[in-house]
Amino acid sequence: MPLKNSFDLPKFFTLSPPLSYFEDETVWLNLTNSVEFKPIYYNEAFPEKYSMEDIKKIATEAFKQTIRIHDQKVLLDVLEKDPDMIHKIGIKPSNISNIIEFNPSFAHNVLAILLKSTVSTDYLSAIIKTALNMSLNSLEVVNRLASSMELPTEFLHLYILNCIEACEKMTDERFQKRSVRILCVFLQSLVRKKKIDINDISIEIESFCITFSKIKEATELYKICKTF
C-alpha cells in the first residue's frame, strides 16, 4: 500500500522587485500636463530661411563634393521659382561638368529646369564637351534627360559624335572596351525609345560599330541600326 504524504509542502512567496528610478528612463507622457512635457520638432520638416550667401555656399560645395538631398532641394526650389537665378548662385556652364560628376541626380534636375527656360543653350554646349571625356555620369544625365523630355536634335547628335570620337581615341584597351559597351547600351536605349533618328547619323554609328565589331554590344547596336 503506497505511502501518503502526511504533510503539506510549504508555500513560497515571491517578493516584488524594488523599483529603481533612472534619469534616462522612458516616461509615459501625460499629455494633459502641457507645462512639464513639450513636443520636440524635427527641424528639417519645416522650411528654413536661407540668405543668398548660404545658397551660394551650397552651390559651391556642389562643384567639389556630393551635397545632401536637403541642400539639393534648397537650390532646386530657388531655380524653380526663377531659373535666371542660376547665374547669381554661381552655377555656370564652365562648372556644370563638375556638378555632373559629383551630383549627377542633382545636375539632371537642374538641367531639366533650365531646358524649359531661355538660359539652356550655353549649358547644353558645356554638356557636349563632357562627352569628350566619356564620363559615365554625363551619359547617365543625358539619358535621363532624353527619357523625360525632348532634347534638341542637334545637341544629341553632337553629343553622340563626341562620345564616338572619345572612344576611338582611347589608348587604354581595357578602358576603351568598357566605354564602347556603355556607349552602345546608351545608343540602343535612345534608338529604341525613338529619341534619335538613326538615319541622320547612321554613317558615323555604323562605322563605329564596325570598328569595334568584336564587342558584343557594338554588334547588337549595328543590327538595331539596320532594323530601324
From 216, 205, 197, select the one nearest 164 (Cα to Cα).
Answer: 205
pLDDT at 176: 96
Cα 143 to Cα 195: distance, rounded to the nearest angstrom: 10
**Domains of the chain, residue spans:** 50-151, 152-228
Query: How far apart, in Å, are the Cα atoms of 224 and each of 82, 177, 203, 206?
Result: 42, 20, 14, 10
DSSP string, 137-193: HHHHHHHHHHHHSPPPHHHHHHHHHHHHHHHHH---HHHHHHHHHHHHHHHHHHHHT
What would the grid cell of residue 89 be?
A: 548662385
- Please identify which residue in the block is written with the cell numbers 516616461: 27
Contact 143, 189 (CB under 8 A): yes
pLDDT at 1: 53
pLDDT at 159: 96
Q: What parts of the chain have a pLDDT lower than 50?
A: 41-47
What would the grid cell of residue 194 be?
A: 525613338
What would the grid cell of residue 16 be?
A: 516584488
For 177, counting Cβ atoms within 10 Å of its Cβ (0-12 exposed, 13-18 middle, 19+ buried), the class is middle
What would the grid cell of residue 133 be?
A: 571625356
φ and ψ at residue 221, rounded to 5 degrees: -65, -40
From 136, 111, 132, 135, select the one nearest 122 (Cα to Cα).
Answer: 111
From 146, 127, 148, 147, select the one nearest 138 (Cα to Cα).
Answer: 127
Q: Please state the length of the chain.
A: 228
* CA 9 to mean position of chain CA atoms: 74
Question: What is the model's pTM?
Answer: 0.75
Half-sphere exposure of 100 (CA within 13 A, CB side): 29
